[in-house]
A and B are shown apart, each in its own frame.
Chain A
Amino acid sequence: MIPAAFEYHRPQGLPEALHLLTEHGDGARALAGGHSLIPVMKLRMSAISHLVDLQDIADLRGITVGSTIRIGAMTTQAELINHAGLATAAPILREAALQIADPQVRNLGTVGGNVANGDPANDMPGLMQCLDATFTLAGPKGSREVRARDFYESAYVTARAEDELLVAISFAAPAGGYAYEKQKRKIGDYATAAAAVQLQASGGRVTQASIAMTNLSDTPVYSAAAGAALVRTACDQSAIKAAVAAMLGDINPVADNRGPVDFKRHVAGIILGRAITRAFSRT
Chain B
Amino acid sequence: MKKLHLEMTVNGKPVDVLAEPRALLIHVLREDLGLTGPHIGCETSHCGACTIDLNGKSVKSCTMFAAQANGATITTIEGIAGPDGMHVLQSSFREHHGLQCGYCTPGMITRAYRLLQENPNPTEEEVRFGMAGNLCRCTGYQNIVKAILHAANEMQSKEAAE
- The residues of A with any CB-CB pair to B shorter than 8 Å are 1-8, 10, 31, 34-35, 38-39, 41-42, 51, 53, 55, 78, 101-105, 107-108, 187-188
Q: Known contacts being A38-B65, A102-B132, is A108 close to B59, with CB within 8 Å?
A: yes
B contact residues, range: 20 to 34
Q: In the bound complex, do residue B60 and residue A3 qualify as a contact, i.e. CB atoms below 8 Å apart? A: no
Q: In the bound complex, do residue B67 and residue A2 qualify as a contact, i.e. CB atoms below 8 Å apart? A: no
Q: Which residues of A contact B65 (CB under 8 A)?
A: 8, 34, 38, 51
Q: Known contacts being A6-B1, A6-B21, A51-B21, is A104 close to B58, with CB within 8 Å?
A: yes
Q: Which residues of A contact B133 (CB under 8 A)?
A: 101-105, 188
| B:1-36 near A, CB below 8 Å | 1-2, 4, 20-22, 24, 27
Asked whether B51 is an interface residue with its Cβ less than 8 Å from the other chain, the reply is yes
Q: Which residues of B contact A51 (CB under 8 A)?
A: 21, 65
Give 17 A-B contacts (CB < 8 Å), ordered by A residue. A3-B22, A7-B1, A8-B21, A31-B68, A34-B64, A34-B68, A38-B64, A38-B65, A39-B63, A42-B43, A53-B67, A53-B68, A101-B133, A103-B133, A104-B51, A104-B58, A108-B63
Query: In the docked arrangement, what's the CA distance between A94 and B162, Å?
Result: 36
Query: In the docked arrangement, what's the CA distance between A7 and B63, Å?
Result: 17
Q: Known contacts being A5-B1, A34-B68, is A104 close to B21, with CB within 8 Å?
A: no
Q: In the bound complex, do residue B45 and residue A39 qualify as a contact, i.e. CB atoms below 8 Å apart? A: yes
Query: In the docked arrangement, what's the CA distance between A65 and B132, Å?
Result: 30
A-B pairs, top 6 by smallest CB distance, nearest first, are A102-B133, A8-B21, A5-B1, A104-B133, A187-B132, A107-B57
Q: Which residues of A contact B24 (CB under 8 A)?
A: 2
Q: In the bound complex, do residue B111 and residue A103 qualify as a contact, i.e. CB atoms below 8 Å apart? A: yes
Q: In the bound complex, do residue B68 and residue A7 qualify as a contact, i.e. CB atoms below 8 Å apart? A: no
Query: In the docked arrangement, what's the CA distance between A60 and B63, Å?
Result: 21
Query: In the docked arrangement, what's the CA distance between A28 and B132, Å?
Result: 34
Q: In the bound complex, do residue B22 and residue A2 qualify as a contact, i.e. CB atoms below 8 Å apart? A: yes
Q: In the bound complex, do residue A105 and residue B60 qualify as a contact, i.e. CB atoms below 8 Å apart? A: yes
Residue of A nearest to B131 (CB): A103
Separation in Å of the B133 CB from the closest CB of chain A?
3
Q: In the bound complex, do residue A4 and residue B67 qualify as a contact, i.e. CB atoms below 8 Å apart? A: no
Q: Which residues of A contact B2 (CB under 8 A)?
A: 7
Asked whether B44 is an interface residue with its Cβ less than 8 Å from the other chain, the reply is yes
Asked whether B38 is an interface residue with its Cβ less than 8 Å from the other chain, the reply is no
Q: Which residues of B contact A78 (CB under 8 A)?
A: 57
Query: In the docked arrangement, what's the CA distance between A108 and B70, Å?
Result: 15
Q: Which residues of A contact B70 (CB under 8 A)?
A: 10
Query: In the docked arrangement, what's the CA distance between A7 and B59, Å?
Result: 23
